[in-house]
Structure 1
Amino acid sequence: MKTGWKRSTPVIIPDNQTLSNMLHSFLLDRGITGVEPIGGGLSNSNIKLSLTNGEDVVLRIYNGGGIKGHIEKRILERVQNHLPVPEVLYHDFSLSRVEYPFLLLNWVEGFQLSELFKEGDTDKLSVAGHEVGRWLAEMHSIQFSGPGFFDEELNVQEFLTIGADSFRSVLEDIISEGYVEENIGSEMVEEIRRFADEQGYLLNRIGEQRSLVHSDFNPLKILVKTGGEEVEVTGILDWEFSFSHSPLHDIGNMLRYEDVENSPFLRPFISSYLKHGGELPAEWLQQAKMMDVIALCDMVSKKGCEKTRLRDIQSLFRKTFREWERYAEVQENIR
């Protein structure tokens, strides 16, 4: 589960004077007593700040700039009363005090869901699957005007169609414009192309979908608390890549590493998703895995991907192709 992957950019940790300047309007008469980088993310910088009044907050710095901070802020505000997400306490996208945009969020108690997967407690994973499915159904009930990417006000700007032709086109753009072949080799690229040609027709059956998609929805981005046999989702984090499209993106992302035939998480996850209003087509698992192939290609499209990441993603491609017929059986039995 991205174990050993290296960050694409260094963590930004401002010095105390810079922090005071950045947060002057928020801090007022409070001071900062602790500065602690938070691990887990691979792109942006997350820092836990402890304040003199005993409050903990999270400074989230967008290393690459752009409108990602705008999108995340708007999404968090939009879903605040619907989903367990951090609250935006302060922001500055002006670049007037520092050279990067940032948000300040409240501290959310909990630990990453990925830790439960490492522990392997099947009962707790089953309960977690139910809870995550419930919240994902709520997320996908939030709709937009059409499928596409957001501008900084969450208006859908670039319309995205769903179907075999668009699937092949998007894959080909990622492969031809990036470093996919250099990173994973021509043999695997040809296998991906064959897969797209043979299975692309499945996406013609989805139709136009315009749900809120997190697009990085995985156990590293979900915080939970446990008590006895109970598992509570306390936070869904990192919304900067959100867009409007098919819920299958998030399904595929969440199940990326799962052994679909022996997972204590999968059945309660999908059953709860459907019970709480989520909708899935008949071939949902195969279609979700196809969506995830696009995400995997995108993750190896950059120059200089480290070996651990490449080995992991190559293994995931092989797993998808090898288990394709199993997915058909599983999606029939879990509805």
Structure 2
Amino acid sequence: MSDTAVVGIATEAVTAWVSGIVPEFAGPLTFERIGLGQSNLTYLISDASGRRWVLRRPPLGALLASAHDVAREARILSALEHSAVPVPRVLAVTDDPSVTDAPLVLMEFVDGLVVDRMTVAEELTPGQRRAIGIRLPRTLAAIHAVDLAEVGLVDLASHKPYALRQLTRWSGQWERSKTREIPDLDDLTRRLLANVPEQREVTLVHGDFHLRNLITAPQNGDVRAVLDWELSTLGEPLADMGSTLAYWSEPGERTSGDFPATQLDGFPNRAELVEMYLAETGRDPAALKFWHALGLWKVAIIAEGVMRRARDDPRNKAAASTPTVERVDALVAAAMAVAADAGI
């Protein structure tokens, strides 16, 4: 396979690198872009015997600082390898310019079901959907229960108040990646800043926890791996639950674009997810409303950024459709409604 056959990968150089890590592979390696991710790029590597591995690299083109640090993501995965949080095992990391123009992470392939397309979600029975759905809050609770000192992640990020860090970071991202002005989003930013709840603890935060970022067992819904840790940090655990709720649409809502999977029969609704997570953790339901609003606000900014990257460099487009102006506007409207309901 020539070096130009797969966008973003110099296949001959990467094959030579992989051979030093898994020298027992059979025959030539093949590389295939996989997943629906429109941020860091993911590739499936296969050998002639059917063995498989996964490769990750940052997106192509100009990047926002620290937004796509795959080496940092690899550090988090390695730290969690022996924890209660299921993650793929990292095999190697390189930024050798003779191999790649950007850092690469090689990891094990985890077999299982990824509910990342409507066709996949529609093929599941209502019972299977519910089995997967009820494991999301439990898995999130396990992430938030990780002993930071034990796994070596105490210094992963700042321990300063998380809400202000998030609002500062993502409002900055908005200014650098927006394609137009949205006065309602700017207004919501001001309101969120004025209504930050007290932070009572600091835990590991995944930062982008939703259905598409899980590999599950089709037989019983168990989570085999949590993926896409590029936004992970230390902070308020309720922020993760707020993001999960932001992605979890219900019938009639337009916030999920072309992937309204959670509206299908069987998946628990948001109220059930909240009840299960709070039962597991005992955390504050009132503060969670703030984080739900902030989660929608952040997802809107992320979607706008994906739209901007795809516009600036079409090679970053993935199998999922690029977010639209209509979806971003729906997310902002939903965030305004949740904020108003919470008295923000």
TM over 0.5: yes
How far apart, in 1, do the equivalents of 2:128 and 2:29 lie? Answer: 36
Within 5 A, what are the aligned runs for 1:268-283? 268-277=272-281, 279-283=283-287
RMSD between aligned residues: 3.4
The answer to whether residue 71 in structure 2 is matched with residue 70 in structure 1 is yes
Deviates more, 1:134-143 or 1:251-260: 251-260
- What is the alpha-carbon distance in structure 2 between the residues aligned to residue 324 and residue 122 of structure 1? 31
How many Å separate the matches in 1 of 2:59 and 2:323? Answer: 23
Structure 2 Cα separation of the partners of residues 60 and 170 of structure 1: 24
1:294 aligned onto 2:298: yes
How many angstroms does 1:208 deviate by?
4.7
2:213 maps to which residue?
221
Counterpart mapping for 1:89-238 below 5 A: 89-115=91-117, 117-118=121-122, 121-142=125-146, 144=148, 155-156=155-156, 158=158, 160-162=160-162, 173-175=172-174, 177-180=175-178, 183-185=179-181, 188=182, 190-203=183-196, 205-227=197-219, 230-238=220-228
Which of 26, 32, 38 is 1:36 aligned to?
Answer: 32
Q: Secondary structure at the match of 2:73?
A: helix
Alignment of 1:318 with 2:337, yes or no, is no
Is the CA contact 1:141–1:278 (under 8 Å) kept in the aligned structure 2? no
Unpaired segments of 5 or more residues in structure 1? 1-9, 146-151, 329-335
Which residue, out of 278, 281, 289, partners 1:285? 289
Question: Structure 2: which 5+ runs fail to align?
Answer: 1-5, 252-262, 312-321
Counterpart pick for 2:52 among 37, 53, 56: 56
2: distance between equivalents of 1:35 and 1:275? 44
Match of 2:80 in 1: 79
The TM-score, its normalising length taken from structure 2, stands at: 0.73
Question: For 2:223 and 2:156, how far apart are their aligned partners in 1?
Answer: 29
The one-letter amino acid paired with 1:42 is: Q
1:245 Cα deviation after fit: 1.2
In 2, Cα distance between equivalents of 1:179 and 1:75: 26
How far has the Cα of 1:168 moved from its partner? 6.2
In structure 2, distance between residues paired with 1:304 and 1:38: 18
Aligned residue for 2:19? 24
Q: Figure out how many residues of one structure are paired with residues of the other and give that number.
A: 302
CA distance, structure 1, for counterparts of residue 153 and residue 166 of structure 2: 27
My pick for the range that moved more, 252-261 or 315-324, is: 252-261
| Secondary structure of residue in 1 paired with 2:54 | strand
TM-score by length of 1: 0.75
- The Cα offsets for residues 63-97 of structure 1, whole Å up to 9 and x where unpaired, read as 46978122111111111222111111222234343
| C-alpha displacement of 1:237 | 0.7
Q: Within 2, Cα distance between the matches of 1:278 and 1:121?
A: 31
Structure 2 residue matching 1:202: 3-state secondary structure = coil
Q: Could you tell me how far apart the structure 2 residues matched to 1:291 and 1:119 are?
A: 29
Call closer, same or farther: CA 1:291–1:18 in 2, change over 3 Å: same
**1:11-46 deviations in Å (ceiling 9; x for gaps):** 42433x223222131132423353322131112222
Distance 2:287 2:108 in 1: 40
Contact 1:85–1:235 (8 Å) recurs in 2: yes
Q: Secondary structure at the match of 1:300?
A: helix
1:206 Cα deviation after fit: 3.0
Matched residue of 2:31: which SS?
strand
Q: Report the AA paired with residue 77 of structure 1.
A: S
Structure with a larger share of its residues in strand: 1
Residues 263-316 of structure 1 deviation map (CA, whole Å, 9 limit, x = unaligned): 724244333323333624424133322244134235435856658433211111
Aligned equivalent of 1:247: 237
1:59 and 1:193, CA in 2 relative to 1: closer, same or farther beyond 3 A?
A: closer
